[in-house]
Amino acid sequence: MGKNIKRFYTISQSNLNIIARSEHNVSRKDISKSAIKVLYTLKDAGYEGYLVGGCVRDLLLGLKPKDFDVATNATPEQVKALFRNSRIIGRRFQIVHVRFGREIIEVTTFRGPHDDENLHVSDEGMLLRDNAYGTLEQDAWRRDFTINALYYTVKDFSIVDYTNGMADLKSKTIRMIGEPSIRFKEDPVRMLRAIRFAAKLNFKIQHDDEVSIKKALDENIHLLDAVSSARLFDEVLKLFMSGYAEAVYELLIKEDIYRRLLPFDHNTQTDFYIAFVKQGLANTDTRIQQEKPITPAFLFAVMLWPAVELLTKKLLTQQHTLYDSINIAGQEIIEQVNVRITIPKRFRYMMRDIWTLQVRLPGRVGRKAYKSLEQKRFRAGYDFLLLRSQVSDLLNMQNTNDVNQSSQVELNELCQWWTQFQIEPEENRKQMIKALPNNKPKRKKKKTNKVK
């Protein structure tokens, strides 16, 4: 018997807790109709079927679930046979996507402990494949945190709890199922998940008794380096694009994990830059609340800006022009990050446009302002400029590394100018350009250049 199996059986000698409908607040009216349909279809066909994971957790906490996941004892093929609009996906473990219009219900077959035949682990203990089916109880013990292992059934509308998840929900605790260090080694992404749930729910990361998640985080955080860069991109989006990015960022800084995700010089973590990233993320959270669109490009442009700005400044001292410096710096920093987190090309282009606009927007004489305005990414670049000035204002302090070497007042004025320029009619726009202090007739300017 493999080591892992023994572990699962010892910890799974749990006391099964069944919480009757009268003792919990999960109501059918809060559950997606499609998910209910899946549960009844499975039941009518003689299978077990449960809502599980984030949806049960969030419903119990009175939050609106992002999506609904179902666990069943039916195999993927059996599930597929029950639903017309379904397909089997995934390689590492097969799951079935059942589609109802735009909604997808993910149906997963109970997973069990690995036996020697299908246990595939790397030298570091990372699970490479685990596709053994199991029972409901085994499935519960395979999940990451106790609050994510609660099951809701339409058989009697009760909640099934093998891991003491209800108690942890009540005490607002993120507790690992099993030994944190082993579970992090199996899948290092669980470390980011711990942070994500703690931030989202405002729960504390368990750290009081002998098995401390916090301690295990410290010891295993380097394993994040082994996670594929494509998966890290997905996880980073989940961390920062779910509406609680500011809280996530604060936790990542506090637990000293942020440095692991974006490994840059410590100068990128000055008070000013931390405030800058925090404000950018807070703005993203607000946009999500207001149901405005957000793009990963802006998010990454914000998170990488400290590194880009610092490198730009360094390049400037090496005889490059400002425009070239920011371009080279942008390219370089993106390349460094890309090794760990694959940012798709379309976002990379947009990030560079946002950054170069930061050195373009101050230049407004002649046709320059019009040219910037016509740029596809003008709006994002302008929003970014606003963010830069907003942060200086908030802190009432100047960024000593500002690429344009502009004072806080200048930055504010520049923002105001652009805000106005966008809404003014043509005639007034011309006046605005004319009124710029550094607006000299073109010929004169050329002459001065020649003299130089």
- By CB under 6 A, residue 137 contacts ligand ATP: no
Closest separation between CB of residue 68 and ligand ATP, Å? Answer: 9
Task: Decide if residue 148 touches ligand ATP (CB under 6 A).
Answer: yes
Of 8, 31, 53, 362, the residue at the interface with ligand ATP (CB under 6 A) is 53
Please state, in angstroms and rounded to a whole number, the distance separating the CA atoms of residues 309 and 326. 7
Considering only 22-30, 74-82, 142-150, 353-361, which stretch makes contact with ligand ATP by CB under 6 A? 142-150
Among 30, 67, 187, 324, the active-site one is: 67
Sole window of 13-21, 63-71, 282-290, 411-419 interacting with ligand ATP (rule: CB under 6 A): 63-71
> Is 225 in the active site?
no
Q: How far is the CB of 231 from Mg ion (least distance, A)?
A: 16
Edge-to-edge strand ranges of the sheet holding 95-100: 17-19, 159-161, 150-152, 49-52, 69-72, 103-109, 95-100, 86-89
Give the distance between the most distant pair of CA atoms in the chain.
89
Between 188 and 362, CB nearer to ligand ATP: 188
Tokens for 195, please give them: 């942070």
Q: Which of 178, 175, 122, 151 is nearest to 54 (CA)?
A: 151
Can 67 be counted among the known catalytic residues?
A: yes
Q: Residue 19's CB: how many other CB atoms inside 10 A?
A: 17
- Kind of pairing, strands 17-19 and 49-52? unpaired
Considering beta carbons, is residue 53 or 296 the nearer one to ligand ATP? 53
Asked if 139 contacts 95 with a C-beta cutoff of 8 angstroms, the reply is no
Q: What residues from 180 to 209 belong to the interface with ligand ATP (CB under 6 A)? A: 187, 189-190
Q: Specify burial of residue 295 (Cβ count, 10 A radius: 0-12, 13-18, 19+).
A: middle
Q: Residue 56 to residues 113, 198, 248, 331: CA-CA distances in angstroms?
A: 23, 16, 22, 43
Of 165 and 362, which has the nearer Cβ to ligand ATP? Answer: 165
Measured N-to-C along each axis, helices 345-360 and 322-338 cross at an angle, to the nearest 10 degrees, of 150
Choice between 231 and 320, CB closer to ligand ATP:
231
Q: Is 165 in the site for ligand ATP (CB under 6 A)?
A: no
- Give the number of residues in contact with ligand ATP, rule: CB under 6 A: 12
Which is closer to ligand ATP, CB of 189 or CB of 236?
A: 189
Of the candidates 69, 168, 285, 383, the residue annotated as catalytic is: 69
User: Per the structure block, which two tokens stand in for 3?
Assistant: 């080591």
Catalytic, out of 58, 130, 139, 144: 144
Site for ligand ATP contains 144 (CB under 6 A): yes
- Return d(Cα 135, Cα 48) in angstroms, integer: 10
- If one asks whether residue 66 binds ligand ATP (CB under 6 A), the answer comes out as yes
Residues that bind ligand ATP (CB under 6 A): 53-54, 66-67, 69, 143-144, 148-149, 187, 189-190
Residues with catalytic function: 67, 69, 144
